[in-house]
Amino acid sequence: MFKKGLSLAILLLVAFALTACGSNQNADGKTTIEFMHSSVEQERLAVINELVATFEKENPDIKIKQIPVEEDSYNTKIITLASAGKLPTVLEVGQDYAKVMDKEVLIDKDAVKEIITQVGKENYYDGALKLMSTENGKSYTGVPISGWVQGIWYNKEMLAAKGFEEPKNWDDVITIAKAFTDKENKKYGIAMPTVEGGFSEQAFSQFALSNNANVLDNKGKLNMNTPEMKESLTYYKKLSQYTMPGSNDTTEVKDAFMNGTAPMAIYSTYILPPVFEEGNAQNIGFSIPNEKKKAVFGTVSALTISSFLEKDQKEAASKFVAFMSKPENMTKWVLMSPGGAQPVSKLVTENENYQANEVVKAFGDLSTEIAASFNDIQVFGLVDSKNFLKMGDVTSSGAIPKLVNNITVGKKDINGEMKKAEKTLEDVLKKE
């Protein structure tokens, strides 16, 4: 997160640096633009290299300079480059960090909106566009290219052995979790996050939002202390009785599901590649926590264009992002991690190459069901189509995962912990 007070300095540095760079044209007349992304693995780089080569062949006056950065240090790198006035022209971003950049006026939202309009808003799943929408709902912070969703995964054979089918609501989940829990033999009903970290916030948010509980109201004001939020926390604490002891993070949840310790798990679509590798694709089901409505947690990876660009760079960047947004190119991007990465465009879901992929085919109709669940995306801070920027500060505070960890692992009182979280968030939002 950028420190308060740096905004103007960053903007001046960026503007000065880009002005000083002029048109960024090479001696041969080509316009060079930088493309920063998180695909550092050799196999993924090979795909991106191929896409870049095709683009440069079609646009001989443009040169793409790639900047691959490890995911763990990606956001820090953006801060470093922005502070030095060297922000790349095109960047891969997730919806949360795009909010930070938008707050710092580092995104050319007009250019982004123009590309989405050109591609066709109707071709994207609604949830993907909602996650990238600006607070006023009039533009977007990035052009969606892929994403992933999270829900409850279940082992069909294990559930059937005890006479259960797909869990469709909160009561079903609790009933199944209780039936499978045998702590003496280290067997549990559900693998779920309880760690003091982002994974717990993501998982809990699905239950809360399905119960009409959000962190902010439709005016962007803190809305933590509600009956719906308390009900959701009470349920999550009760459900945690049937999971593994301790602070469970991604590794613990994934391992428990994969080795049969638990028949259900709250996890992202990145559970699918290892399931495929084990040859068990037909035995996994996907369920969405449901109380008053469906609520799917999901994230979107998007391409955005930085602000304060010279005309030739902006035009080159727009051409490149539009090229990457073609169905065949988005398909190649998604298939860098088949199963884990999911289409955010219906045109990818319908693409022959996507449908022919061995991983996608192995999961059959489930692949289509998962992609369509983008239409049920709900996240904290997205209220009545208003995507509040301040939710980035709420998440960065760590107040929600601390609350979840304290009531589950710490067995602390819900009312007391809600008040503590509320006080923390009040202080955070006062600094806005």
8 Å CB contact between 330 and 343: yes
Residue 27: the pLDDT is 56
**Is residue 300 a contact partner of residue 94, using CB atoms and an 8 Å limit?**
yes
Taking 50 as the threshold, does the pLDDT of residue 21 lie above it? Answer: no
Banded pLDDT at 55 (limits 50, 70, 90):
very high
Domain ranges of the chain: 7-147+300-361, 149-297+377-430
pLDDT of residue 20 exceeding 80: no
d(CA 87, CA 97): 14
- Nearest to 50, CA basis, from 388, 289, 328, 400: 328
The 10s digit of each residue's pLDDT in 288-338 is 988 999 999 999 999 999 999 999 999 999 999 999 999 999 999 999 999
pLDDT at 10 exceeding the cut of 60: no
pTM to 2 decimal places: 0.90
Q: Of the given ranges (73-82, 113-122, 176-185, 316-325), which has the lowest mean pLDDT?
A: 73-82
In CATH terms, the superfamily for domain 7-147+300-361 is Periplasmic binding protein-like II (3.40.190.10)
pLDDT in tens, 125-178: 999 999 999 998 899 999 999 999 999 999 999 999 999 999 999 999 999 999
Q: Where are the alpha helices (DSSP H) in 59-187?
A: 74-83, 95-103, 109-119, 126-131, 156-161, 170-180
- Mean pLDDT for the chain? 92
pLDDT of residue 8: 39
Give the pLDDT confidence score for residue 5 in this predicted structure: 36
* The two structure tokens encoding residue 265: 């798990």
Residues in the chain: 432
Q: What is the pLDDT of residues 178-202, one digit of tens each?
A: 999 999 999 999 999 999 999 999 9
- Predicted confidence at residue 26, as pLDDT, reads 65
The separation between CA 42 and the C-alpha centre of its own chain, rounded to angstroms, equals 23
Q: Are 116 and 129 in contact (CB under 8 A)?
A: yes
pLDDT band at 384 (very low <50, low <70, confident <90, very high): confident
Same fold: 7-147+300-361 with 149-297+377-430: yes
Beta bridge partners of 301: 94, 146
Fold of 149-297+377-430: D-Maltodextrin-Binding Protein; domain 2 (3.40.190)
